[in-house]
Structure 1
Amino acid sequence: MGVTTIPSSDRRAAVSLFSRLRTAKGQADPFPIYAELRSRGAVSPAPWGGSLVTSFDLCDRVLRSRQWLEPDKRWREKQGPGTRWNAPSSREMSSTLPALNPPDHTRVRRAAGAFDRTTIERLGRTVERVTDGLLDSLEERLRSGEADFVTTVGEELPVAAIGDWLGLPSADLPHLRNLTHDQVFTQELLPSASQLALSDAATAELRSYFTDLVRRRRERPGDDPVSRWIETWDAMEPDRDKADEGVYFLALFVLLAALETTANMLSTTTLLLVEHPEWWDRLAADPDLVPGFVEEALRYDAPTHVISRIAARDCVLDGTEIRKDEMVHLMVGAAHRDPSRHSDPDRFDPLRTPGHLAFSGGIHYCLGAPLARMEAHVLLGRLVGRLPRLALARRPSWAPRVAFRRLLNLDVTLA
């Protein structure tokens, strides 16, 4: 019937590809390795079990289908006490919005609300003010020679924006940012024991911080989303402790999503601008080109390169048999360079028709996508409008990750 199973030899052959992805060279340019993965077929074996999907159309189909689920709490518990899925940080993440399946997901998504036009306009004023201040700092550093865009702007803008929205003390933000970098390891593709330990410790600190925040907002509510989430959850959940827990998980999710993926999106988009200096003057002359530049940056090198799903039942995916509860890893970074979806996919072309999965898809489409896009639009518009072209002082380095990209530095000078 055209159904294939995956031989163990194919799994072993994939090990070297992922070993190369973890090297400094692989992190700096994973796309030739992704091309090798695509050459193995639209669906190929993952070294640790399950399957890898590299076709854009298949990734898109899985993300939009209700037949594919998040690895939720039920699934994680079934993996056994000795697995990474039952680490304290992983169990904690299983209660956040991205790890829920209907009907729980539907309920929590409704409680979360959305970044509507009014909210985006209010946040836009904050983002513009913060961006101008950060670019002042960047210019001052550049006058002395060079500056690290990541630490000066890229990581500062999203934490300031989300901190202002949530009403968090500015003095707390640097520590929350550092905790976020450690916490994300539990969401990586294959975290080591030491990385999980960092994630567990960071998660415990974040739980303490946000449960205390919820308690204080319950005692003294204000005009902020945490206070509004408390009202919403109280109307949905008669048990106050469970209501507060729901608010805590929403606040945790919003912080993690805003700080980690948005920060890298901003820095990577700026890197692409520096690497394609002809676009600096074009964006400055025609700000209407900025949104297209951002969308192409999201396709070219998305903040998240892997999204995982679980089969709701036995099925066949592009001729490969997938069992119920088996995991597939959607290799978004590879799918974005799929030549059947984009012509000349390795060429950076902000004028091409947009098409990417950087914000996932289906019911799990990113809640914060409007905010992330707005931050990128404001930053690029201000950057090309205020500064002359920038040049790399040295090649940047990347964190040793596969699923969640992170630029560690972006050292620039005036061109």
Structure 2
Amino acid sequence: MSDRRAAVSLLSRLRTAQGQADPFPLYAELRSKGPVVLAPWGGFLVTRFDLCDRIVRSGTWLEPDRRWREKQGARTRWSAFSAREIASTLPALNPPDHTRVRRAAGNFDRGTIDQLGHTVTRATDRLLDVLADRLRDGTADFAALVSEELPIAVIGDWLDLPRADWPRLRELTHEQVYTQELLPTASQLARSDVAMAELRDYFLTVVRDRRACLREDPVSRWITTWDAMEPDQDKADEAVYYLSLFVLLAALETSSTLLSTMVLRLVERPERWDLVASCPDLVPAFVEETLRFDPPSHVISRVAAVDCTLEGVDVRADDMVHLMVGAAHRDPARHHDPDRFDPHRKPAHLAFSGGIHYCLGAPLARLEAQTLLRRLVRRLPGLTLVRPPAMAPRVAFRRLLNLDVTLI
């Protein structure tokens, strides 16, 4: 009971403005209570890196899929419309459904990444032009002008979505994410439901329009693929909708956070800027250390497929564990001096999950981050942080609400 009360207190502090700005001392406190801590609402919090790593790679730990959510009851957060919709997207599926959908989705292979690379470069240069122009007035919000714009410019172009729709799609993505939060409030779930309903209508319309006139784009290719797999056209169209929804959500929310966090790390210490400027080959390592130091997502959830024991703690089949990635990344048993940002350290993080659920869009996220970092350092030397950014009121999904910078 004392551990439960301590966990309640700690998680309450995580949801404060101070906890959002710097959750890592709280994560250290959580780690001190052991590798597996009973969560106040049931289930368990896992804080040790090697244990989190083992769970995401193991087939005995499953996603909380639609079947699992239905078992939780009609009056739980898992029955919300947005939660049920998310449960049908690729990251929430378990085999054999996951295997089937991932095969239909295809991969961001070398050819696709090369194709997207041209779009990333053009969009990055255009957005940095806008940033440079705005900086002539003194200060500019890097998050709003670049980090939020680059991912939607790339994925919106790839999916062939009208440019006029991009701002609204970005807003809806930010709203729907609350259904994937660790402790969403009733009002946050309601906002997620509204956003998800609009996203569903939008992408089902896109699928119907593409079916009427197929193009050379991913949505059209997914329609052709699913038609060969699913004789029921309505079911095929819904499967394409879920793929399109997943790609948009995965491409926008965490990628924009990665870009803002990476640039925050760069501009908060002038010596880091000098380091990357003098050694451009360090760019990939800088991105990876950003993903370790403060990943876009701080929590990954899994459920036990069978009764088991975790570090002496009995876990029953269907119990949920929350892998506290933000805490695991600062585990001193895995990383020496883990609270120090060090791009020279050997990369090791869970920012893209692992196992069969390793992030499909990881190559694109890395491409965007590395391209932006290289071109930013070259184009805008002297970029400096004006004030610490404000953070969105979340625990699992990090988001910088602003990143105000200036040139000196």
Q: Shared topology, TM-score over 0.5? A: yes
Deviations 1:127-173 (Å, cap 9, x if unpaired)? 10010010011111111100000000000000100000000000000
State how far apart, in whole Å, the 1-side matches of 2:365 and 2:263 are: 14
State how far apart, in whole Å, the 2-side matches of 1:88 and 1:103 are: 24
Residue 49 of structure 2 is matched in structure 1 by: 56
State how far apart, in whole Å, the 1-side matches of 2:173 and 2:315 are: 34
Residue 14 of structure 1 is matched in structure 2 by: 7
Question: 1:342 is paired with a residue of what secondary structure?
Answer: coil
State how far apart, in whole Å, the 2-side matches of 1:276 and 1:318 are: 39
State how far apart, in whole Å, the 2-side matches of 1:63 and 1:71 are: 13
Q: Does 1:126 align with 2:130?
A: no
Q: Please say which of residues 359-368 and 285-294 is displaced more in the overlay.
A: 285-294
C-alpha deviation, 1:9, in angstroms: 3.1
Q: Does 1:206 align with 2:203?
A: no
State how far apart, in whole Å, the 1-side matches of 2:330 and 2:182 are: 20
State how far apart, in whole Å, the 1-side matches of 2:277 and 2:114 are: 23
Residue 26 of structure 1 is matched in structure 2 by: 19
C-alpha deviation, 1:284, in angstroms: 2.1
Q: Does 1:312 align with 2:305?
A: yes
State how far apart, in whole Å, the 1-side matches of 2:2 and 2:41 are: 12
Residue 114 of structure 1 is matched in structure 2 by: 107
Q: Please say which of residues 385-394 and 152-161 is displaced more in the overlay.
A: 385-394
C-alpha deviation, 1:285, in angstroms: 2.6
Letter in 2 for 1:296: E
Letter in 2 for 1:75: W
Identity %: 73
Deviations 1:14-36 (Å, cap 9, x if unpaired)? 10101110111100100000000
Question: 1:382 is paired with a residue of what secondary structure?
Answer: helix
Letter in 2 for 1:233: W
Which of 160, 164, 168 in structure 1 is aligned with 2:161? 168
- Structure 1 moving runs of 4+ over 2 Å: none
Residue 264 of structure 2 is matched in structure 1 by: 271
State how far apart, in whole Å, the 2-side matches of 1:165 and 1:69 are: 31
Which of 187, 203, 207 in structure 2 is aligned with 1:194? 187
C-alpha deviation, 1:52, in angstroms: 0.3
Residue 388 of structure 2 is matched in structure 1 by: 395
Q: Does 1:151 align with 2:144?
A: yes
Which of 313, 319, 327 in structure 2 is aligned with 1:326? 319
State how far apart, in whole Å, the 1-side matches of 2:76 and 2:267 are: 42
Q: Does 1:242 align with 2:235?
A: yes
Residue 178 of structure 2 is matched in structure 1 by: 185
C-alpha deviation, 1:276, in angstroms: 2.4
Q: Which runs of 5+ in 2 are unaligned?
A: none
C-alpha deviation, 1:71, in angstroms: 0.3
State how far apart, in whole Å, the 2-side matches of 1:26 and 1:302 are: 15
Q: Which runs of 5+ in 1 are unaligned?
A: 1-7
Which of 59, 65, 70 in structure 1 is aligned with 2:63? 70
C-alpha deviation, 1:391, in angstroms: 1.4
8 Å Cα contact 1:11-1:48 kept in structure 2: no
Q: Does 1:224 align with 2:217?
A: yes
User: Structure 2 length as normaliser, TM-score?
Assistant: 0.99
User: Structure 1 length as normaliser, TM-score?
Assistant: 0.98
Residue 3 of structure 1 is matched in structure 2 by: none
State how far apart, in whole Å, the 2-side matches of 1:269 and 1:395 are: 14
Residue 283 of structure 2 is matched in structure 1 by: 290
State how far apart, in whole Å, the 2-side matches of 1:26 and 1:389 are: 30
Count of aligned pairs: 408
Aligned-residue Cα RMSD (Å) equals 0.7
C-alpha deviation, 1:45, in angstroms: 1.1
Residue 5 of structure 1 is matched in structure 2 by: none
8 Å Cα contact 1:52-1:331 kept in structure 2: yes
8 Å Cα contact 1:314-1:323 kept in structure 2: yes
State how far apart, in whole Å, the 1-side matches of 2:269 and 2:152 are: 27
State how far apart, in whole Å, the 1-side matches of 2:371 and 2:143 are: 16
